[in-house]
Amino acid sequence: MTITSERKTSQIDLQEVQDHDDPERGFWVIVDSYVLDLTEFLRHHPSGAQKIVKRRNKSIDIGSNFLDHFAHTVRTFREACSKHDATGQVVSFRFKEVDQYSVSILGKVDPSSLLM
């Protein structure tokens, strides 16, 4: 896991997330109020990109949606979240099933700005 430091603060506006909805500008999603850059990973999601794209306008709730994922998938995500919380910096990581393509935690949105 590597940490990069292009961003100093971790707070991101919901609008900025919504503006990143294609491969050219980047594809961002919110999981549990963390903003993830899935631009590289999306097409390689094991059950297809469409499942994530369909859920994109809502925050993906790790408690419910991630129950379909393996425990180590959730653990990898949670470890990256902890690292982000500790540093406030961008954290890039890889899931072991899709280890050619990295995922980055860019920051967080204010949970009260989300329509759940």
Site residues (vs ligand HEM, CB under 6 A): 29, 31, 36, 45-47, 51-52, 55, 60, 65, 68-70, 73, 77, 95, 97-98, 103
Q: How far apart are CA 17 and CA 82, in angstroms?
A: 21
Distance in Å, CB of 42 to ligand HEM, minimum: 9
Q: How far apart are CA 2 and CA 34, in angstroms?
A: 17
The residues, ordered by sequence, that sit 6+ positions from 1 with a Cβ below 8 Å of its Cβ are 79, 80, 83, 91, 92, 93
Rank residues 8 and 96 by Cβ distance to ligand HEM and give the closer one: 96
- Shortest Cβ 23–ligand HEM spacing (Å): 16
Only one residue has tokens 């470890």, namely: 79
We find the least distance from the C-beta atom of residue 55 to ligand HEM, in angstroms, to be 4
